[in-house]
Amino acid sequence: MALLTCVFRLEKMVVQEFTVDLNKPLVFQVGHLEERYQEWIHQPIVSKEGPRFFGNDVLEFLTLTKWWAVPTIWLPVVCWLLVKSIRMGHTIQEVAIMALFGIFIWTLIEYTLHRFLFHIETKTYWANTAHYLLHGCHHKHPMDSLRLVFPPTATAILCVPFWKLVAFFATPTTTPALFGGGLLGYVMYDCTHYYLHHGQPSKDPAKNLKRYHLNHHFRIQNKGFGITSSFWDYVFGTLPPSKTTGKNN
């Protein structure tokens, strides 16, 4: 009986080991890992060539984004929003202050999303699948340059509820500048994130920020959630130990 139990467990382990075939589209495979999914995504594969997500070419294309698409598409929108508030009666100085406040709020949103949504623990098929598309793929393939920034289509969709949220708290004339500042913060975040993975900074603060972020990927995944800075990690106590006790990474 004991021998049969050992054989069954061994067969189960073999099946689980070969659940994910990296040579096939991954998105609809990863859910089958169930409880083992979290462990799997935190064993990164360092390769500039990313995996295939979907068998369908159209869906696959929609998951690929060049980094320069983010500033190219969204910086003109930021400018339009800031000018809109100026035309509605605000001075350039007032708009600049509102934009800076929007950037500051974005840094908190950046931290909150990364910590509580992007690093949510999942174990069911569809939850694992959704998480892999959202952020798990980035931790599994951190050097995949075409899936590092957020796809513009998804950003445009998310802009709608965020605009309504800002409009709820702000006035009609301040909403464009505040939202524009937040959107500018997002652009800075995505471009910074890409640079931290693929740039080679030689001086601080960029060099230290790159070390800080790669520490999040390769050493302590449940700490160091800030991308553009470590400010909110400091505020909420999620600084990784290496930030204060070591410099060997």
pLDDT in tens, 71-111: 999 999 999 999 999 999 999 999 999 999 999 999 999 99
Tell me whether residue 132 is in a domain.
yes
Instruction: Answer yes or no: are the C-beta atoms of 199 and 143 closer than 8 Å.
Output: no
Count of structural domains, the chain: 1
CB contact at 8 A, 29 and 21:
yes
Token pair of 143 as six digits: 């050097």
Task: Quote the CA–CA distance of 106 and 25 in Å, as a whole number.
Answer: 34
How many of the other CB atoms lie within 10 Å of CB of 156?
12
Q: Where are the alpha helices (DSSP H) in the chain?
A: 2-17, 37-41, 57-62, 69-87, 92-112, 125-131, 137-140, 152-169, 175-198, 206-218, 231-236, 241-245
Evaluate whether residue 168 is within a structural domain. Answer: yes
Model pTM score = 0.86
- Mean pLDDT, rounded, for 194-214: 91
Q: Residue 96 sits in which domain range?
A: 26-236
pLDDT tens, residue by residue, 23-78: 899 999 999 998 999 999 999 998 878 899 999 999 999 999 999 999 999 999 99
Has residue 247 been placed in a domain? no
For residue 150, the number of C-alpha atoms closer than 13 Å in the C-beta half-sphere is 22
Residues 27/54, Cβ–Cβ less than 8 Å: yes
Instruction: Quote the CA–CA distance of 135 and 120 in Å, as a whole number.
Output: 10
CA geometry: angle 134, 64, 184, nearest 5 deg: 70
DSSP string covering 229-243: -SHHHHHHT---HHH
For residue 226, being part of any structural domain is answered with: yes
d(CA 123, CA 127): 7
Q: What percentage of the chain carries pLDDT values higher than 70?
A: 89
Cα separation of the two ends of the chain: 50
Domain assignment present for 115: yes
Q: Is residue 20 included in any domain, yes or no?
A: no
pLDDT band at 226 (very low <50, low <70, confident <90, very high): very high
The answer to whether residue 17 sits within a structural domain is no
Q: Give a yes or no: residue 2 inside a domain.
A: no
